[in-house]
Amino acid sequence: MRVGFIGLGNMGGPMALNILKKGHSAVVNDIRREMAEPHLAAGAQWADSPAAVAARAEVVLTSLPGPKEVDAVALGANGILSGIERGAVYADLSTNSPTVIRRIHEAFRQKGVAMLDAPVSGGIPGARNATLAVMVGGDKETFDRVKPVFDAIGDKVSYIGAIGAGAVAKLVHNMVAICSTQLLVEAFTMGMKAGVSADALLKAVSDGAYGQGMILKGALPKMIMRGNFDRVTFALKLARKDLGLATEVGREFNVPMPIAALVEQDFLSALAHGLGDKDSTAAVTVQEDRANVKVRS
């Protein structure tokens, strides 16, 4: 396919090269022309503006820092919308706001151009090795038509749902990753102040149920998403006891543990609602009630 690629930074540069390696032709643009040198050497063509890229492509991809940059490149002066032809496809690979994506989608729809949101995950190594996860939102028929382009940059390409769904899925992923890191460090600082080395803690956590994927591979799909809290593998009252013991150690060694303290309050609320003999995953119902949505398949 004739692919236009705008944004040749740490992620976009390797993705554009992989598109060329898979036999697609490419026309490229970046605010720094020197970033395109490897692509031009590999057979890509240069265009002086996003509009010029779009005018020469069947599929236009952007890989940009965030919503502000995507909005400017898509809708601004000499932007993609001003150059793209009816029947072409625009897909944004950036981590973006679903609200911004839907607004841009509507502007393209009025011109007869389909838009997909297709954020990626896997970091620079994934971009270089074409092993990214690609989370795509938009029209399914359009997704199927341009999937070969996504297959050139990732080996885990998924259709998520309607326009904006890819952006939502990426934000969920990043929120889990970012917050999990803070929780791990919160726990490790407690453990280290209580006298255990970081290496030993890493070994213990890696070897235990959590490190073996208990949450994503077990508890979430098999219990929480099925509302299966009566099949008890770890009683909620015992989990609250263990969490309480951990926060006691934190207090003993003057370790701030705000995340654990917040979760402990949810467990106390679950106990107050008579869920102590249910599986510990039943504590998620406290957040479900706050959000007025059930995490179920």
Distances (CA, A) of 271 to 56, 203, 216, 230, 289: 62, 32, 24, 15, 15
- Bridge partners, 25 (sequence order): 2
Give me the torsion for CA of 223, 283, 229, 220, rounded to 10°: 0
Given a contact cutoff of 8 angstroms between Cβ atoms, the answer to whether 30 and 56 are in contact is: no
Please name the residue ranges forming H helices in the chain: 12-21, 37-41, 50-55, 67-75, 80-83, 98-109, 123-129, 140-151, 165-193, 198-207, 236-252, 258-272, 284-291
Residue 268: how many other CB atoms lie within 10 Å: 15
Q: Which of 168, 171, 143 is nearest to 157 (CA)?
A: 143
Name beta bridge partners: 45: 27
- Which DSSP helix (H) or strand (E) runs through 62? strand 59-62
Which positions ≥6 away from 271 have C-beta within 8 Å?
236, 237, 240
Of residues 81, 110, 105, 119, the one with CA closest to residue 4: 81
Q: Return the structure tokens found at 20.
A: 């060329």
Tell me whether residue 170 is one of the annotated catalytic residues: yes
Residue 109, classed as helix, strand or coil, is: helix
* Catalytic choice (170, 193, 217, 278): 170
Dist CA 122 CA 159 (whole Å): 17
* Residues taking part in catalysis: 170
